A and B are shown apart, each in its own frame.
Chain A
Amino acid sequence: MAIHKFYKITLVGHNKVKEEIISQLQKAGVIEITEVPENLKNISQIESEEKIIDINQKISNLNFAQDFINSFCQNKKIKIETENVIKLSYEEYIKKANNFNFKIIDNLKEKSVKLQDLNEKINFILTRLDELKNWSLLKINLKDLKLEKTKILFGSINKDKFEEFKNKLSELKFLQLDIVNEDEEKIYWYLIYKNEISEKLNEKLKEFLINIANLNDIETTVPEKINFYNKELNKLKKEVSKIEESIKDYIKFYNDILICLDYLKNLHQREEVKRKFFITNSTFLITGWIKEKDIKIIENLVKKYKVVDYKITVPEPDEEVPVELSNPRLIEPFEMVTKLFGPPSKKDIDPTPFIAPFFALFLALTIADAGYGFLLLSLSYLVYKKYKNNPGTAQLMKLLIICSFIAIFVGILTGGYFGIDFESLPSAFKKIKELREKLIILEPLKDPLKLFIFILALGVIQVLTGFFIKFVNCIKYKEYYEAFTSPFAWIIIIAGIIFFILLKIKIFLILPVIGSLIILFFSDRSRNIIVRVLKGIYTLYGITGIFGDIVSYSRLFALALSSAVIASVINVIIGILYQFLIKFPYIGVVLSIIFSIVMFAFGHIFSLLIGTLGGFIHTTRLQFVEFFGKFYEGSGNEFKPLKEKFNYILIEK
């Protein structure tokens, strides 16, 4: 019902219109192009790779430019003047993309290399300056110290080790140790020694942890060198700011870069898809899938060309046809749950209409608070507004909006409003209290057992629905034997037990007995009666699994409970802090009110996010394991048409 019917399409044409046809097909976005059969593929001409390589190169260049401008603006705290999406007409889009000047990117690359180079130099000087600052008291010209018969060593050592160091060195002749500088930790010294003792000296030095400073390249005094470096640094910094200033001129091209990126990605898709074609010297052939209602579009398209023709055929029964779900607007957001598991395979029905009510109700039950429902509604609406053009996010938000409406409803029925304890409210709120009381049918924290049973009952309903769908599906495919020995038998077992528990009439116990007998003797079709019964017993043992499935729904109760308790915890904490803060003289009232409001907002938003996260995951799991396990395979292929995709722009019609 909710799955589109697909036909096979074969399209042939002359090579001179090939590019045009591909563009038109991409723009129409109605055909999923499949690989041509293997025997044709082998004799097909192979498209040259050069074009794709060129496009890839351009895309990576544009990505570079995008990242470069982005990070530049982020560092400089410049706001790029671009909207969430760029709106323009199709003609403008093509024109802008074709006229894009790739010189811009070359220039940006050049500037980025220069900047990198300059920054490296700056970093070198900065580390050098850091080293030298401890030696700035050394006012001798270092060139004069370079003599033939002596060597000089500059170094530093921890203060507490210095005495020991000095004593050790005094054992040697022909050397002189002088202190240059000291700071909190270290003493900076230099050592002049005769060449002949260098080996002995090295032995001694090895015993200590010393840092050797590299001042050998300095031909002047240290302060002079520092001065030189500082001048150099200023020069480099000026150059950097000059380049950065020139980069600012490129920010205005940011939008064009994005437009061109979208264009090239679509071009890339067109080139990629050509590999699936069958191409001869003068013709090309495309095979693919098309929906019944879209055939008209192709007919109109082909009419315009004299050298193109197409044929529609019905798929063979054993062929893997792609799947596209189509559901009414209210159910459509739940398709994402189905797709998360896997689109329906050939024998499956689309489960979306069945999971939609359960999913919405279950998620609402885990929230079970009108205040939270309202909060979730506003938050998801805001996100939806912002990310309207992102199909994935938009669909998720629509789902949350639907669920939050039901959560508000459930919240009113269970009397949850931000977890507020209405009994402790002052008597001024008497009217509100009475109104709330009237609307309540069940209060989770007062009557937990009732809610628990209610949730398990929902579980029974969903498990039964699963078996029922399986039953209908079996009938549809004329598998009558399977239909009666498996889903039907289970349905009467469960239903019989439930009726017996509810109505306490013993006659209903006959249903589970019949069901068990069917499973025991007929679930396996082997001739040997012993094997049959043994396998039947094993299948019947599956009742424990069904019991487990139903118990599994108790997670909804646990989640409802924990979100209700967390909500009231936040209020209790606010209450305690309010009592504490209000005692402050003068500012007490203001302080406590402001604090309560902030705490209320942040606390409940946090609690809502945590609660919804858990609720969403567990509700999804219930659909996948407890529900889909009964009837759904989900191994189909999603319909992926050749279609233009835009990440940054929106085409206005």
Chain B
Amino acid sequence: MTLGLALACAGIFIAVVFAGIGSAVGIGIAAQAAAGAMTEDPKKFGKYLLLVALPGTQGIYGFVIGFLTLLKLGILTGNIPSISISQGLNILFYDAPVGIAGLISAIHQGKACAAGIEMSSKQPAEVGKALVMAVFIEFYAILGLLTSFFLFWFGIKF
């Protein structure tokens, strides 16, 4: 494996692992709040499900970019092109936005979701509003995804 390819793989690593960590932590926070709220009324499981699942999307975004990079590098087909160090560094930076934006936004979204769960345990009709507030945070993960995607799509040329 050349250094260039290693750097490109580090890019995939950042995209998938960082965003994944964010989602895992975020869902963890929200799930704890939901479990706590369900001690009073287990029937609300369906209502809380959405709020718990919401921070999971960042991990998916990270995976999308990671997978597209995998495809482009030809790792799945075995025809790996030779990648110079600067190309590798490029790919590393292309993949970074979605990973880092996902990492931080998912954790904060998890907290917002936890607060939303607490709110809807007392005001069951307002679960929609709690969702909308938590979705505000998601947008910045999406911007990270878009930036990574466009950098990657129009940037990588072998």
Give 4 nearest A-B pairs by CB, closest first: A340-B128, A565-B64, A621-B135, A562-B64
Contact of B24 with A by CB under 8 A:
no
Query: Interface 1/0s, chain B 64-88, versus A by CB < 8 A?
Result: 1001100000001000000000000
CB distance from B123 to the nearest CB of A (A): 13
Closest to B76 in A: A572
B109-158 at interface with A (beta carbon < 8 Å): 128, 131-132, 135-136, 138-139, 142-143, 145-146, 149-150, 153
Q: How far is B58's CA from A555's CA once the two chains are assembled, in angstroms?
A: 13
Query: Interface 1/0s, chain A 598-639, versus B by CB < 8 A?
Result: 000000000000100110011011001100000000000000
CB distance B132 to A620 under 8 Å? yes
Q: How far is B135's CA from A340's CA once the two chains are assembled, in angstroms?
A: 15
Q: Which of A340, A555, A562, A569 contacts B139 (CB 8 A)?
A: A555
Q: With a CB–CB cut-off of 8 A, which chain A residues contact B150?
A: 448-449
A621 with B132, Cβ < 8 A, contacts A554-B146, A555-B142 known? yes
CB distance B54 to A617 under 8 Å? yes
Q: Which of A340, A566, A572, A621 contacts B60 (CB 8 A)?
A: A566
Contact of B3 with A by CB under 8 A:
no
CB distance B64 to A566 under 8 Å? yes
Contact of A301 with B by CB under 8 A:
no
Residue total for A at the interface (Cβ-Cβ under 8 A) = 25
Contact of B53 with A by CB under 8 A:
yes
CB distance B67 to A617 under 8 Å? no
CB distance B149 to A561 under 8 Å? yes
Q: How far is B147's CA from A554's CA once the two chains are assembled, in angstroms?
A: 11
Closest to A569 in B: B67
Q: How far is B61's CA from A610's CA once the two chains are assembled, in angstroms?
A: 12
CB distance from B122 to the nearest CB of A (A): 18
CB distance from A340 to the nearest CB of B (A): 4
CB distance A617 to B135 under 8 Å? yes
CB distance B67 to A565 under 8 Å? yes
Q: Which of B56, B63, B146 contacts A558 (CB 8 A)?
A: B146
Q: Which B positions have Cβ atoms within 8 angstroms of A?
A: 50, 53-54, 56-57, 60-61, 63-64, 67-68, 76, 128, 131-132, 135-136, 138-139, 142-143, 145-146, 149-150, 153
Q: With a CB–CB cut-off of 8 A, which chain A residues contact B63?
A: 566, 569
Q: With a CB–CB cut-off of 8 A, which chain B residues contact A569?
A: 63, 67
Q: How far is B63's CA from A572's CA once the two chains are assembled, in angstroms?
A: 14
Q: How far is B132's CA from A341's CA once the two chains are assembled, in angstroms?
A: 10
Q: With a CB–CB cut-off of 8 A, which chain A residues contact B60?
A: 562, 566, 610
Q: How far is B61's CA from A554's CA once the two chains are assembled, in angstroms?
A: 14
CB distance A617 to B142 under 8 Å? no
| A/B interface sample: 14 pairs, CB < 8 A | A341-B128, A552-B139, A558-B149, A561-B64, A561-B145, A565-B67, A569-B63, A576-B76, A610-B56, A613-B50, A617-B135, A621-B135, A624-B132, A625-B136
CB distance from A545 to the nearest CB of B (A): 14
Q: With a CB–CB cut-off of 8 A, which chain B residues contact A561?
A: 64, 145, 149
Q: How far is B146's CA from A449's CA once the two chains are assembled, in angstroms?
A: 11
CB distance from A353 to the nearest CB of B (A): 20
CB distance A558 to B50 under 8 Å? no
CB distance A618 to B135 under 8 Å? yes
CB distance from A437 to the nearest CB of B (A): 22
Q: How far is B56's CA from A561's CA once the two chains are assembled, in angstroms?
A: 16
Q: Which of A341, A449, A613, A618 contacts B53 (CB 8 A)?
A: A613
Closest to B56 in A: A610
CB distance A562 to B76 under 8 Å? no
Besides A340-B128, A613-B50, 14 other A-B contacts (C-beta < 8 A): A557-B146, A558-B146, A561-B64, A572-B76, A610-B60, A617-B50, A617-B54, A617-B131, A617-B135, A618-B138, A620-B128, A620-B132, A621-B131, A625-B136
Q: With a CB–CB cut-off of 8 A, which chain A residues contact B139?
A: 552, 555
CB distance B145 to A558 under 8 Å? yes
CB distance B153 to A448 under 8 Å? yes
CB distance A562 to B61 under 8 Å? yes
Q: With a CB–CB cut-off of 8 A, which chain A residues contact B131?
A: 617, 620-621
Q: With a CB–CB cut-off of 8 A, which chain B residues contact A572?
A: 76
CB distance from B85 to the nearest CB of A (A): 28
